[in-house]
Every structure is written in structure tokens, then in C-alpha cells.
Amino acid sequence: MLTNEIVKQKLVEKFAEQVTNFGEPYGMLTFEAPKEMNLKVLNFLYDDERLKFRFLTDICAVHYPDQKGRELAVVYHLHNMQDNIRVRFKVFTDIEKPDVYTATGLFSAANWMERETYDFYGVKFTGHPNMKRILNVEEMNYFPLRKEYPLEDQARIDKDDEMFGRE
């Protein structure tokens, strides 16, 4: 049976110190690698006869505004259906040049997931066959899920809290 420890061991054997920050939040093996290696790691996880992570569950992004040079994380969730085990793989990129290689050559489902990630966070997937907005209008000149906007002013008096379920 495949375990998190076996997956970690195989990754370290293959990539040595290039795979880092291993953890197991909620029992799911999580790790990261440099963004330039995302396809090498994804291909290894897919092709290795013991690992068989051949189902892409999700691609998303996270904005960390306080991490200079690592403001955007692209997060891949992969599933090995035979052994019913999942992994979370992260690559970080600079918000000034948010380019990450596309995974569409390996997973056709990555197409829409990468477009959505671009649409909301601005991550540009190099080599993507149709890198344009998928849910928002093309004219939009910002990425709405980045943490670049102030929170609502709690001192506002121009609205009725009762209308928002607040007393």
C-alpha cells in the first residue's frame, strides 16, 4: 500500500533538496519545489509505476502579499485512484513575473483550471493553448482574489446593518 512516507521518499530520491517543506496537514502530504520544476515533478508523480498520481483534482492559487518574491503560490492537488491517496504540490512565483509552465500537456483538465487561476490571481501559464479569462470580462484590469483591496470599513454609517443580518 502506498503511504505518504513512500511518496516523500521517492520524491527525495529523485529530486533531492529541490523538493522541500514537507508536511502532512490533515493527513495529506504537502510539499513544494521551484516553479521551474513543476512539470518535472508532475511528470514524475504521473509516470512513476509506484506513485501513479494520474488524476488532477484541482489547480488553484494563493496570494501571500507579505512574502516578497513568493507572493503567489500555484497549488496542485493530485490523486492516485488505485491506492486512494492524495498529495498537494506547491510552486511559488514572484507577483511581478507570475509565469508558471502549463500542465495541459499532461492533464487536459488543467486547461480550464489554469484559465481560472489566471482569471482570479494573474498567474500566466506559459505554453497554455488559450490563456485568457474564463469567468470575468476581458476588459477587467485587475485580479479579484489577490489580497490587494482594503477590507470593509466597519465604521460606515451609510448602510443599515439590519439589512445584512447584523444587529
Cα separation, 166 vs 132, whole angstroms: 39
Strands 29-32 and 55-63: unpaired
Residue 58's CB is within 10 A of a number of other CB atoms, namely 15
Give me the pLDDT at residue 151, please: 72
- Domain containing 139 equals 4-146
pLDDT averaged over every residue in the chain: 94
- Main-chain phi, psi angles of 27, to 5 degrees: 85, 0
Residue that wins the pLDDT comparison between 74 and 151: 74
What's the whole-number mean pLDDT along residues 41-70?
Answer: 97
Residue 68 included in any domain: yes
Flag whether pLDDT at 55 surpasses 80.
yes
Residue 164 included in any domain: no
Residue 106 included in any domain: yes
pLDDT digits (tens, 9 = 90+) for 76-119: 999 999 999 999 999 999 999 999 999 999 999 999 999 999 99
Residue 41 included in any domain: yes
CB 132 within 8 A of CB 115: yes
pLDDT digits (tens, 9 = 90+) for 9-35: 999 999 999 999 999 999 999 999 999
Q: How many folded domains does the chain comprise?
A: 1
CB 86 within 8 A of CB 28: yes
Residue 154 included in any domain: no
Q: From start to end of 81-129, where are the E strands?
A: 85-93, 99-101, 124-126
Give me the pLDDT at residue 18, please: 98
Residue 140 included in any domain: yes
For residue 42, give the CATH number of its domain.
Answer: 3.30.460.80
Residue 159 included in any domain: no
The amino acid that residue 121 corresponds to is: Y
Flag whether pLDDT at 157 surpasses 80.
no
Alpha-helical regions (H) of the chain:
4-15, 38-47, 110-121
Specify the pTM. 0.89
Residue 167 included in any domain: no
Tell me the CA distances in angstroms from 101 to 96, 98, 140, one per residue in order. Answer: 16, 10, 23
Task: Return the ∠ at Cα 18 (arms to 66 and 106), rounded to 5°.
Answer: 95
Residue that the C-alpha cell 503560490 belongs to: 73
* Coil vs helix vs strand at 148: coil
Q: What is the percent of the chain with per-residue pLDDT over 90, rounded to a whole number?
A: 88
Flag whether pLDDT at 167 surpasses 70.
no
Q: Range with the lowest mean pLDDT among 37-46, 55-64, 154-163?
A: 154-163
